[in-house]
Amino acid sequence: MASKKVQADRDEFKRYKEDVKKEGKPFFPYAIFHDTVMSLVVVGVTIGLAVIWKFTVEDGEPGALGPLYEKEADPATTNFIPRPDWFFYFLFYLLRIFKWPETVILGTVGIPTLLLILLIMLPFYDRRPERVILRRPVAFVAAILVVLSMGVLTWKGATAKEGSEAVAEVPTWAKEQGFADNPVAVEGATLFAESGCLNCHVYLGAGGQNLGAPELTEEGLKNRGIEWQVAHLKNPSSKVPGSPMPPFADLGDENLTKIATFLEASKGPKE
């Protein structure tokens, strides 16, 4: 014999079917048909705009919807700043909080997956008929916290300095680290920011820590010396066996010496 809860659900479903038969239309095929038609309209409009964009361009001049592209991609560039679409900025910033390799799995897979499972399971573990939001404090507080946390993470991810975007931070670095009166170190800091080093390293809060790359804010405290730094930049695996860091020998000895001077001058913010 069915429990009272099961019987109540069956009665509710029966009333729903009767109401649909008398006053409404069933989901299938009416709603499905409307969704299909609207999807085809959206796809058609997208294709139409793409055709207009493509065939109104003449002799490289912008067409009705703008140019085909601004500049050809350079696969060898070190200045390109890879960034995700804005709706992934919150995950993008989580990679700054959870460090490789110890905890990065929590930020990229663990937390998002757990939250997604909780969201999918919501209809199964919250079956109360109450709809007044103030009478559901747990759900209300949880929703507010989720919105606030994602909003803050999205904002932080959007404003985070990456790669050559941090060139403007060089004067601040020089002042905080105390090498403002060392022009070679200042030039090295600029080269460091322009060469894409911050795509993997963190320096005074700028950049991103990927593939286990160390933070370089206090690199100078290790007292490795200019020669070691230059040799490491030329061939990282010669100094750190198995290092995934690419070589920067193409920058030339003069530029590498400037970067090495900057790294050796980086001994942490001065009090």
Indicate the domain borders of the chain: 4-55, 86-159, 163-265
Distance, CA of 252 to chain centre: 32
Task: Choose between 98 and 231: higher pLDDT.
Answer: 231
- The pLDDT score that the predictor gives to residue 124 is 80
The structure tokens listed for 154 are: 């999205």
Place of tokens 């790359």: 213
User: Mean pLDDT over all residues of the chain?
Assistant: 83
- Paired with 66 in beta bridges are 63
Backbone angles phi, psi at 73, to 5 degrees: -70, 140
Question: Residue 210: CA atoms inside 13 Å, Cβ hemisphere, count?
Answer: 14
158-196 pLDDT, tens digit per residue, is: 887 665 567 878 898 999 999 989 999 999 999 898 887
Per the CATH hierarchy, to which homologous superfamily does domain 163-265 belong? Cytochrome c-like domain (1.10.760.10)
What is the average per-residue pLDDT within 113-129? 81
